[in-house]
Structure 1
């Protein structure tokens, strides 16, 4: 693009933006590229260009909010649209028009990811909070170990038993750095249910809000997991995955790395297929082969790997 300029864009450029801002017409790939070029060239007008892109892709968010995969997860359509808009705006900030693929393809990933995270952590049990990414990784490991112990012992494992398994493991999935208190916090949070402050209490007509004194602040049990600890765990997960695929072909390892954005920009099935001269289904099958191999050896699922990659490479 050459040297950036803070001068006002040309009249023709402003006319394009005004048209897009006040209409719901389809924005072609060529027009999208032009606007993103202007977005880079004129920093003072980025809010206008960003609005133009967002307004032209709102229906993409609405489309995914109606997808069956997001229904029945405890979130309304308006909630899903709100989360999808957050993903869309993040896509606007990180899209690189030089790579050649369509913005709608790139934005779809961020929209779906935002909705998926909202369904996982904000939907069930009416939870009104989100789990930080670093806690997300540890939560998955703790729940995985709890499931294994439950099957082995044929009873509900104690927090101490789960913590002992985590700290004593010698596998690549080891060292979650979760002591008994952390395990207890994770498990209690997972089973917690939200209660309306306006709902009457069990033995009184008074609401919960009226029952609680203003100075009696609700004490919550925090999950004491630092970002450094989460990063260490995420590195162990990604390293274990790559070591598991060491015997796989370069073709399959390449697909795995590109699909999860490991130390690079994350790519869709279609993007990888176009560069490797394969069909999207062939790429998907290779990705599934890698995931089955990793799950068999380490127990990681797609979402655990994705959460670990998000911790290490937040701008992927």
Structure 2
């Protein structure tokens, strides 16, 4: 199996270096989709082989990451500042203190569990800060990370000899990533769809590097071990969401929603609709040749009423999907700035 081969290669690399990067291990665990027992078994193999997990394995100047009060300087709200101040009250635990607390947690000591959680809140903040920029506040990211931290406290086995922070990092990252997947979109997409999207993206990168062209849906599906139907479903779900209130025109006097016809059009409006369509087609015809081709193919204005996907247009024009997307965005921006298009939103 591919997973077994990757696992063996990862372990051999760890034995050679004496350590592995947390990022590499986290990526492997996410791609392999191991359950809790399999994940625990993987950590057991690392322990048996004497492989340490660090953030900077194989770097000669590597030093162990520590999380100090300086990491807590960023604050955007009073609630966030209050949380950071509270987290800073708890000192970092030594390895022996972690073991002692873990033993007490096993005996059902709730105070020990709370102390283990509170003493590692700075680790949560440090990880959560790396996922900013997805439309989710830092405080919300921290809350997601705390869920992962609690899970790590409940699963931690002190007998295996790992530092708790090393073990907890993976759980915290997983929780934050799932939180981003759940909350960063206008329309929520189920986590399993987001995970499929990540698998498809990885497969596309691998195939593009090997084939030096955009892969077909069939090639992506085979590499990602998904059906072609699932690949198309994920792409459909991942389409960007456009606000109906998005302003158009140089002064923003027209919104995108103004250009969308209602379900029922009054006879008196049919002439206006016809003229509007003609105005749009005229505006499209003024675009540079490549932009005009992309827009017509993308929106069914080329004689074929069925709009084409970015991938289909890319294959037809010999471009990558990303390049087609860029050309489309440039074209739509040009159209939005044209007076005859912006005027379509003006009242009669």
Structures share fold, TM-score greater than 0.5: no
Give TM-score scaled by structure 2 length: 0.38
Higher relative CO (Cα under 8 Å, sequence separation at least 6) belongs to: 1
